[in-house]
Structure 1
């Protein structure tokens, strides 16, 4: 990540590479956030045959700086001799080596003191028009993901965040993330259930914007943690709101997202039954939505589309093998109306992914 050409041009005697880039385990002053050893449980994906399959599909997300790629950067040779002399004088007066390096890198890379260039890059295009959201509010249906996000560690490893660049040393911050693609609020795509079907980068974008229908069973789930969404729940919803519109996304609101800060409550595990005591979508409801209605997908605020006591991932298979997608670990469904909102699924376009993190937004 650190170009030796840039460093050599910046200072005659550059500090060691690991003094600049703390991402290799040697950097001074590095503060790395590491995940604790598999505490808590969430993100169960019963459709997998074992943890090795899910671990193989883990997606590692690297933070990158567009300016910090080491290509095409040149030392500022065009500066006059007087400027060079004044720089030497300043350095002689006690400017630290890191500060001098940071200043030189800023000049070389265009990341500091280049207001004209920054203005040109950041200037809006003339034809761009502001998005008119008059009359709408936006609700975030997404959990924040960090190293402490609860995961079901039989299938999913804990996320890890590791800062590798530091503003005090090189002028900006970046971090590397290592996390399973099915962590936090995420999309299940058809290939998650069967190879050869659409992967994360092949989901039609028009299906990622859809009318949002929220079916609430939170009161029942509070009393029975393994309850399921049934056809009657859907018919009750239609009696109040009208027919589920074509192209809709149907979300089950169990109130489960409120438990996310308590891993044991978010994914209560019964060791005697080897089962997770979480609600799910019933096969009858899934069949109704897939055959009697025309939807793009359905999802839930729990960590699995299937109820935690079902060992066969029946609902996953029904949904995903039909070419549709699911979303798990949704949040704040109780902040949007049952009908009338529009869901926008900002799914990471992971090439070949069996799933992907999403930023799910509801326009109300």
Structure 2
């Protein structure tokens, strides 16, 4: 690494962030997202309030919330003038002066870091790459139970905004790529934590790590869900599972497999809405099954491959409250549960450690 003094000298003549980006990363319409202000003057830049939050009630999980929740505050970066915004991050053609300044910056940075100009970034100079070693999983294979999240991921946009990705650094300008994301903490495959249901309970950063690794029990009701969008998991489903697989082990995570994840590329099928009933027609876990798991068995949590623990027609988040106020956690929008056995896999929940989070994105993996 170069010294801070050398790096500071290299950056001394650097143009501001917006000039480096050259107008990149400002898609049309992006200024209205998450507090970005419309009508900027052509020669003024604005710093958005880093603590701005979007407050939503009763249905951060559609059709069941009564408590007020907050989206993660998202800091919007410096914006270019309104006349300089372009489709999908492509800005106006940079001026010759701007190009010269950027090249000078990259050359200075390259020299400071011991890299022979921009060509080194293409791999002409550098240590040989080590041969990757396979991870020894002692006979296990890994299944990814996580949806990829992008701007197109289905959300119930009456309460939750679509995710937004905005690239702000570009390799052809400064030598690397970065993007800023704005998304609700309950988007995609995510964890619901106790504070999601009641203030004063554990937030996302306080979930005991030992509870994030658990025996995985998958209870399938796919045939029923294919015929009835608002079916629920019941005690009899759990008892049937136990007749085939034995008692649900202590410390287990129980996942309901409805086959719903196959619908994710069709928002109308993934989140079907009935305007007459003002309800989402999606399956969930029944209160009787929740009570059984919480009182008759010793689990760390349960989850679904639909977008809510509660069935979409239940306006009171009864199952959420039962689970979360007991100190356990839930996972919604699980994927690919049909790729793991009913019993025998181990779930590993890679939950983002968001301080004060009422939930968090997760990477859910099953070791089979």
* Interval of TM-score (by shorter of Structure 1 and Structure 2): 0.7 to 0.9
1:180-213 CA-partner distances (Å, limit 9, x unpaired): 0000000000000000000000000000000000
Conservation of the 8 A alpha-carbon contact between 1:40 and 1:152? no
More moved, 99-108 vs 236-245 = 99-108
Question: Residues 125 and 308 (structure 1 numbering): CA distance in 2 closer, same or farther, change over 3 Å?
Answer: same
Secondary structure at the aligned position of 1:58 is classed as: coil
Aligned to 2:43: 43
The answer to whether 1:116 aligns with 2:115 is no
More moved, 40-49 vs 214-223 = 40-49
Q: Following the alignment from structure 1 to structure 2, what is the Cα–Cα distance between the partners of residues 106 and 236?
A: 64
1:280-320 CA-partner distances (Å, limit 9, x unpaired): 00000000000000000000000000000000000000000
Conservation of the 8 A alpha-carbon contact between 1:289 and 1:295? yes
Conservation of the 8 A alpha-carbon contact between 1:296 and 1:324? yes
More moved, 73-82 vs 181-190 = 73-82
- Post-superposition offset of 1:19: 2.2
Secondary structure at the aligned position of 1:13 is classed as: coil
Alignment of 1:335-346 (within 5 A): 335-346=339-350
Secondary structure at the aligned position of 2:348 is classed as: strand
Conservation of the 8 A alpha-carbon contact between 1:163 and 1:173? yes
Of structures 1 and 2, the one scoring higher in RCO (CA 8 A, sep 6+) is 1
Aligned to 2:174: 170
More moved, 90-99 vs 255-264 = 90-99
Secondary structure at the aligned position of 1:219 is classed as: helix
Conservation of the 8 A alpha-carbon contact between 1:252 and 1:301? yes
Question: Residues 173 and 216 (structure 1 numbering): CA distance in 2 closer, same or farther, change over 3 Å?
Answer: same
Question: Residues 28 and 12 (structure 1 numbering): CA distance in 2 closer, same or farther, change over 3 Å?
Answer: farther
Alignment of 1:63-212 (within 5 A): 97-109=101-113, 132-212=136-216
Conservation of the 8 A alpha-carbon contact between 1:277 and 1:308? yes
- Post-superposition offset of 1:343: 0.2
Question: Residues 288 and 133 (structure 1 numbering): CA distance in 2 closer, same or farther, change over 3 Å?
Answer: same
Conservation of the 8 A alpha-carbon contact between 2:47 and 2:78? no
Aligned to 1:262: 266
Question: Residues 360 and 124 (structure 1 numbering): CA distance in 2 closer, same or farther, change over 3 Å?
Answer: farther
Q: Which runs of 5+ in 1 are unaligned?
A: none
Q: Following the alignment from structure 1 to structure 2, what is the Cα–Cα distance between the partners of residues 269 and 43?
A: 44
Conservation of the 8 A alpha-carbon contact between 1:43 and 1:150? no
More moved, 86-95 vs 104-113 = 86-95
Q: Which runs of 5+ in 2 are unaligned?
A: none
Question: Residues 154 and 29 (structure 1 numbering): CA distance in 2 closer, same or farther, change over 3 Å?
Answer: closer
More moved, 110-119 vs 314-323 = 110-119
Secondary structure at the aligned position of 2:54 is classed as: helix
Equivalent pairs, count: 362
TM-score, normalised via structure 1 length: 0.75
- Post-superposition offset of 1:100: 3.5
Question: Residues 174 and 292 (structure 1 numbering): CA distance in 2 closer, same or farther, change over 3 Å?
Answer: same
- Post-superposition offset of 1:55: 3.4
- Post-superposition offset of 1:104: 1.6
Conservation of the 8 A alpha-carbon contact between 2:39 and 2:82? no
- Post-superposition offset of 1:154: 1.9
- Post-superposition offset of 1:106: 2.8
- Post-superposition offset of 1:9: 3.2
Conservation of the 8 A alpha-carbon contact between 2:20 and 2:174? yes
Indicate the RMSD between aligned Cα atoms, in angstroms: 11.9
- Post-superposition offset of 1:108: 2.7
- Post-superposition offset of 1:105: 1.3
Conservation of the 8 A alpha-carbon contact between 2:56 and 2:70? no
1:148-178 CA-partner distances (Å, limit 9, x unpaired): 1110012211111101111111010000000
TM-score, normalised via structure 2 length: 0.74
Q: Following the alignment from structure 2 to structure 1, what is the Cα–Cα distance between the partners of residues 179 and 227?
A: 42
Question: Residues 13 and 72 (structure 1 numbering): CA distance in 2 closer, same or farther, change over 3 Å?
Answer: farther
Question: Residues 323 and 102 (structure 1 numbering): CA distance in 2 closer, same or farther, change over 3 Å?
Answer: same
